Copies of this chain bind each other. A is one copy, B any other.
Amino acid sequence: MASTTNAFSLSLSSKSNTNLSSDSNPKLNKPLNLTLRGSGSGSCELSLGRLALSRSSQLSRRVCPNATRVMDQSVGEKSSAAPTIVEVDLGNRSYPIYIGSGLLDQHELLQKHVHGKKVLVVTNTTIAPLYLDKVVDALTRGNPNVSVENVILPDGEKYKNMETLMKVFNKAIESRLDRRCTFVALGGGVIGDMCGFAAASFLRGVNFIQIPTTVMAQVDSSVGGKTGINHPLGKNLIGAFFQPQCVLVDTDTLDTLPDRELASGLAEVIKYGLIRDAKFFEWQEKNMEKLMARDPYALAYAIKRSCENKAEVVSLDEKESGLRATLNLGHTFGHAIETGFGYGEWLHGEAVAAGTVMAVDMSYRLGWIDSSIVKRVNDILLRAKLPTAPPETMTVEMFKSVMAVDKKVADGLLRLILLKGPLGNCVFTGEYDRKALVDTLAAFCKS
């Protein structure tokens, strides 16, 4: 544990834009009152064996003060329920994450975050037939002064590139949108990342709103302001940190999500447990079958708990100077799979799942975790029907060449997120025995 703490202190010492004083935010001292319905374990406590304990534990439970009442009322009243609210605390760039069923029917929720009179909805060919009309209705009902344009992009990670991004700019300019417009990202992580980067760059920055429609986007990519596109040589190499006005998670949109996409999102849910929230991991171990069966209460809890974890980390380290990098457990190996194997062949969460197994394997080779964790990670990923090894065509050389341009390389040194200590603890470090990395790559690649 001591060395774990040291590794974090080291990475945190170089960060900027982070305010560790809880005095500066009076909201932190609000009374907390939270009950969660339907969570299998009945527990939402955090394992917080690491830095900034007091602030984290306060932040971890910051939800809408009336969440308890609301969630009790909402049983059987799907479309009228007020949302659970998780706040992302970033000073004057703070914003709420609304989570609940039927939120797209509550038009005032969306409308209060629209700036100006013109809106551009950015979505894709899969989502547009399902939810575009609903979103346009939510934006315009009782609000006739707002005009809504849309741009429908091809669906898939392989289109997350400059060419597709230009379609958003073209539409925005043809529609004569000005600085007082609002972009709305309606879709999964690819749409959110591209729309966010377009909003960050159009006229040097306009407002935007995230309406994520996949588990992946709802638990991870829509929160925290990371936006961007891929380059043929690496994922997310071009982008911006740019925060939305709000994130609106209508859990009803998951009704149309394919099983494979559902499982992909669960890879990130599992990640939160592994890196910082052992209790949440244990809850997942008890409830994985419910999640896979789309039990609405289990899914709602998993989304809320994931957003709380993400919001905490982002609030402490918006620009990824240290702590935030831990959210990338399994992603360095995973990005290599996505880039090397071809964007879109595997879903992001599938690549992250295999990458997580590799990071866990390496952590074990370094002697940083015991074998029971290795087994539990493999078991839970298998139960989520996620891959536990990279595609057979991946070679050691493919991993190495993509990992060399990873954003976490600093002055030529590849830093990785690895588990260390009891379940729920990790490190972000470039100080590891290179042999363990070589051995892990050799163990998972045929050549």
Contacts and interface: CB of A to CB of B under 8 A. Distances in A.
Contact of A237 (B173, B240, B320, B412): B173
A178 B409 contact: yes
A319 interface: yes
Nearest to A236: B204
Contact of A173 (B169, B234, B241): B234
A421 interface: no
B240 A240 contact: yes
B169 A412 contact: no
Contacts of A408: 179
A166 interface: yes
A237 B178 CA distance: 10
B169 A238 contact: yes
Interface stretch (A77-85, A225-233, A352-360): A225-233
Nearest to A227: B204
A446 interface: no
Given A92-B16, A178-B411, A166 B173 contact: no
Interface string A192-219: 0000010011111100000000000000
Contact of A412 (B117, B197, B202): B117
A239 interface: yes
Interface in A122-177: 162, 166, 169-170, 173-174, 176
A203 B411 contact: no
Contact of A411 (B117, B197, B202, B409): B117
Contacts of A202: 237-238
Contacts of A200: 240
Q: How many copies of the chain does the oligomer comprise?
A: 2
A411 B180 contact: yes
B411 A116 contact: yes
B204 A228 contact: yes
A176 B404 contact: yes
B169 A237 contact: yes
A306 B416 CA distance: 47
Contacts of A176: 404-405, 409, 412
Given A178-B412, A240-B240, A407 B169 contact: no
A239 B206 CA distance: 11
B410 A179 contact: yes
Contacts of A17: 92
Contacts of A409: 176, 178-179
A201 B238 contact: yes
Nearest to A117: B411
B238 A407 contact: no
The winner among A17, A227, A409 for most chain B CB atoms within 10 A is A409
Contacts of A201: 197, 201, 228, 238-240
A38 B319 CA distance: 46
A403 to B, nearest CB: 11
B204 A240 contact: yes
A319 B178 contact: no
Interface in A376-435: 404-405, 407-412
Given A202-B237, A204-B241, 15 more contacts: A16-B92, A116-B410, A117-B412, A162-B166, A169-B237, A170-B231, A174-B233, A178-B407, A179-B407, A180-B411, A197-B201, A201-B201, A201-B240, A204-B239, A205-B319
18 contacts: A17-B92, A116-B411, A117-B411, A169-B237, A170-B231, A173-B233, A173-B237, A178-B407, A178-B410, A178-B411, A178-B412, A179-B407, A179-B410, A201-B238, A204-B228, A204-B236, A204-B407, A240-B240
Interface of A: 16-17, 92, 116-118, 162, 166, 169-170, 173-174, 176, 178-180, 197, 200-205, 226-228, 231, 233-234, 236-241, 319-320, 404-405, 407-412
